[in-house]
Amino acid sequence: MSSAESWPCWEDPVVIAARDFCLKVGMEQPPSDRYAWDRWNMAHVHTILMNRLEATYKNASHIAANDYATYWAVAYADVHFVLDHHVSEEEFYFPCLTGGIMEPNTKQHAEFAKQVEDTLMYLGTVDPSKQDSQPFSASAFRASIEVWLRTGAQHMHDELTTLEAENLKQAGVTLQQLEDAIKSVAKHRAETEDVHALPAMMYADPGTKFPSDAPWFVPNLLAPAMAYATGLGRMKYYWKARRWETTAPNAHPQSLS
């Protein structure tokens, strides 16, 4: 990417504050207080989400024609991750917590959920696997993200404040409710999440050093086995995702070769 390029939406103070706040909280040591754990965990998820989205956005006009199918798969997965994360919160996490503590954050979801869906709809029109696919426009894709980026970033910042341990305790949230919430989300993800995306998610999390900290059998045995069992092409898309994930500011500065 050219150093002359500028990205006003990613230089917005609200977006920068949210990104840096999530990174700061997520890079803290895992808390011993169970009430503080969900906030710490959520900060990791938000950092992964913003890193993936920022890298996909910035690289939209720098994709070689023979790599477009790979880029499209990564872009669709990254934007869908934004939508699914917030849908799973509303349906499986928030309802487990008492006192309506998450109600303000639920209302924030409503402010940008439809706009995220619009971005996915645009990507659907430029799906390279469809015969009637339209030409991809980096400017149109970026513009669709710019509509909701600031609102979404503010929400991710505010949600971490809501999840502060003292706020949860004052609202009457119990430890059992927190456990039930995590189990509910985990069950949903086990049933719906695309396991092919795991490498891309881990690359975008500055709290890990994937794959250098993975056991030897993960890149040498497990990954090839998954590729064989589930389809090499799709698996390849997500392994290649690291070329874009790691261009985001908070991700690992690893080799992109």
Is the pLDDT at 126 greater than 60? The verdict is yes
Q: How confident is the model at residue 65 (pLDDT cuts 50, 70, 90)?
A: confident
Mind giving me the DSSP string for 155-218?
A: HHHHHHHHT-HHHHHHTT--HHHHHHHHHHHHHHHHHH--GGGHHHHHHT-TT--TTTTS-THI
* Exposure letters 114-123 (e unless 16+ CB within 10 A, then b): ebbeebeebb
Angle at 200 between CA 17 and CA 223, to 5 degrees: 160
Which DSSP letter does residue 137 get? Answer: -
Instruction: Please tell me the predicted confidence (pLDDT) of residue 67.
Output: 81
Single-letter amino acid code for the residue at 48? I
Instruction: Please tell me the predicted confidence (pLDDT) of residue 256.
Output: 30
Higher pLDDT, 99 or 151: 151
Is the pLDDT at 134 greater than 70? The verdict is yes
Work out the mean pLDDT of the chain and round it to a whole number: 83
pLDDT tens digits, one per residue of 16-45: 999 999 999 988 888 999 999 999 999 989
Instruction: Please tell me the predicted confidence (pLDDT) of residue 197.
Output: 64
Higher pLDDT, 201 or 246: 201
Is the pLDDT at 250 greater than 60? The verdict is no
Bond before 8 cis per omega within 30 degrees? no
Is the pLDDT at 213 greater than 80? The verdict is no
